[in-house]
Amino acid sequence: MSHSQSMTPVRYHKIRTLLSKRQPDLTLLLEEVHKPHNVSAIIRSADAVGVHRLHAVWENNRPLLRSTAMGSQVWVDMQRHSSAEDAITYFKSQNMQVLVTHLDQNAVDFRKIDFTKPTAIVLGQEKTGATSEAIAMCDYSIAIPMLGMVQSLNVSVAAALILYEAQRQRDNAGMYEHNRLSEEQAQLVLFEGGFP
């Protein structure tokens, strides 16, 4: 006890501070995002805006890689689902709006969305995009405007642009100024992180 106290007060303070900024009602669903460097970049951005837990649909026999370079720095959980339907049903049970990033004609500009509401955002696979099953279940399609020749952005870039728009709106709304994680959830994270 005195050992862990002398070893880690700075780190403990840092983690306490980041937990006080966490946004438990903001998350992403990665629908078969395959490339480890994309998954790693998405985890970094999610951590940076206070996402507490990410969700992913991926095959049982394919390991979802985390970049080892990130190591013990990573304090974002990843929850696996066997299908997009499963994940989206879960989000709806939590009264979240569910948005899918998809460049169709009816897609809403991402800056027009109210991200202060509880929100889950579905990101599609690098080549094929989000599945039609996911698109059919979501409340809106959202898109980031593109003014050039290229058809789509890198998936980790798209994720970050949307998350930082959410961060901007939530910051303006004062949502980073008080604890939004319960003390019970915070204690769980501290316990897993080795703080008794």
Minimum CB–partner distance for residue 169 and a copy of itself (Å): 12
Q: Residue numbers of the site for ligand SAM (CB under 6 A)?
A: 101, 103, 123-124, 126, 129-130, 143-144, 146, 152-153, 155, 158
Q: Where are the alpha helices (DSSP H) in 54-154?
A: 84-93, 132-137
Instruction: Say if residues 107 and 142 touch (Cβ distance below 8 Å).
Output: yes
**Within 10 A of 144 (CB to CB), how many other CB atoms are there?**
17
**Distance between CA 54 and CA 178 in Å, rounded?**
22
Q: Is 90 in the site for a copy of itself (CB under 8 A)?
A: no
Instruction: Say if residues 56 and 84 touch (Cβ distance below 8 Å).
Output: no
Q: Is 181 in the site for a copy of itself (CB under 8 A)?
A: no
Minimum CB–partner distance for residue 122 and ligand SAM (Å): 7
The token duo for 174 is: 């004062």
The token duo for 184 is: 């019970």
124 binds, among ligand SAM, a copy of itself, none (CB under 5 to 8 A by kind): ligand SAM
- Collapse the DSSP code of 116 into the 3-class scheme (helix H, G, I; strand E, B; otherwise coil) and give the result: coil
State the binding string over 57-86 for a copy of itself (x if CB under 8 A, else -).
Answer: -------------x--xxxx----------
Minimum CB–partner distance for residue 50 and a copy of itself (Å): 5
143 binds, among ligand SAM, a copy of itself, none (CB under 5 to 8 A by kind): ligand SAM
User: Rounded to 5 degrees, what are φ and ψ at 89?
Assistant: -60, -40
Q: Is 176 in the site for a copy of itself (CB under 8 A)?
A: yes
The token duo for 93 is: 């049970």
Minimum CB–partner distance for residue 161 and a copy of itself (Å): 5
**Within 10 A of 13 (CB to CB), how many other CB atoms are there?**
10
Residues binding a copy of itself (CB under 8 A) = 14-15, 18, 21, 35, 37, 40-41, 43-45, 47-50, 70, 73-76, 111, 144-154, 156-157, 160-161, 164, 167-168, 176
